[in-house]
Amino acid sequence: MTETVAARVSAQPFFATLTDTQRAALAEDGITEEFAAGERVFGEGGIADRFWLIEGGSIALDLRVPGRGDRVIETLGPGTMLGWSWLHPPYRWHFGAVARVATTAIAFDAASVRRRCDADPAFGYALLRLFTPLITERLQATRLRLLDLYAAPSQVGQASTEPADA
């Protein structure tokens, strides 16, 4: 299985900037994980002991809002990484994640990967350089969504630029 995971890690564009050795090391901490449609991957506040590279399917990040159920914040598809709360203490998930359809992923053992990062700073730096653009990209997307770009002016408390009267 480790060989299979190694091949799959090597085939993923997300890991393209890692060296062969670094990819092989990362693959040693990876296993295949499958989720049925509707199956919860992790819950808000749970221990962030893994992260996943989604190979097929789709995952919804959600947040439980009292009285309004689980609200989907973002969906993630194949080729994208799920989870970064494992990178920093307190190593707990800030959101939940649920499989929207049958989903296949490579799951990585977070504690083991952190140990490798501590033992090999070059590996740790390379991994951080993988995750930083991902985090930046999602932060930018979130900021843009905060602007509520598609809202009508009245929906965001602005006056229309149209003349009020002719």
Partner 1 sequence: MTSQGAVTPALAEPAAAVPRFYRVASRREDTGDTVTLELTEPAIGVPAFAPGQFAMLTALGIGEVPISVSGLGDNRGGQARRLQHTLRAVGAVTRALHAAPPGSLIGVRGPFGTGWDVESAAGRDVVIVAGGIGLAPLRPVVLTALADRSRYGRIVLLVGARTPGDLLYTDELERWRRDGVEVAVTVDRADSGWGGEVGLVTALIKPAGLAPGNSVAFVCGPDIMMRFTADALAGEGIPVHRIRVSLERNMRCGAAWCGHCQLGPLLVCRDGPVVGYDRAAALMSVREL
Decide whether 2 or 140 has the Cβ nearer to partner 1. 140
Nearer to partner 1, 58 or 112 (CB): 58
> Cα(82)–Cα(84) distance, rounded to whole angstroms?
7
Contact segment (CB under 8 A) with partner 1 among 40-48, 106-114, 120-128, 147-155 equals 147-155
Q: Look up residue 105 and give its amino acid.
A: A
Site string for partner 1, 2-41 (x = CB under 8 A): ----------------------------------------
CB of 18 to partner 1, least distance (A): 19
Q: Is 118 in the site for partner 1 (CB under 8 A)?
A: no
The encoded tokens of residue 112 equal 């083991």
Judged by CB under 8 A, the residue of 17, 32, 132, 140 near partner 1 is 140
Cα distance between residue 57 and residue 101, in whole Å: 6
Judged by CB under 8 A, the chain residues 63 through 92 that form the site for partner 1 are 69, 71-75, 77-79
Q: Quick one: CA torsion of 103, 9, 51, 62, rounded to 10 degrees?
A: -40
Six-digit token pair at 146? Answer: 């905060």
**Which of the 8 DSSP states describes residue 92?**
B
Distance in Å, CB of 141 to partner 1, minimum: 4
C-beta of 128 vs 141, nearer to partner 1: 141
What's the DSSP call for residue 47? B
The Cα 128–Cα 166 span in angstroms is 57
Q: Which of 132, 106, 104 is nearest to 9 (CA)?
A: 106
Rule CB under 8 A: which residues touch partner 1?
A: 58, 60, 69, 71-75, 77-79, 100, 140-141, 144-145, 147-154, 160-166
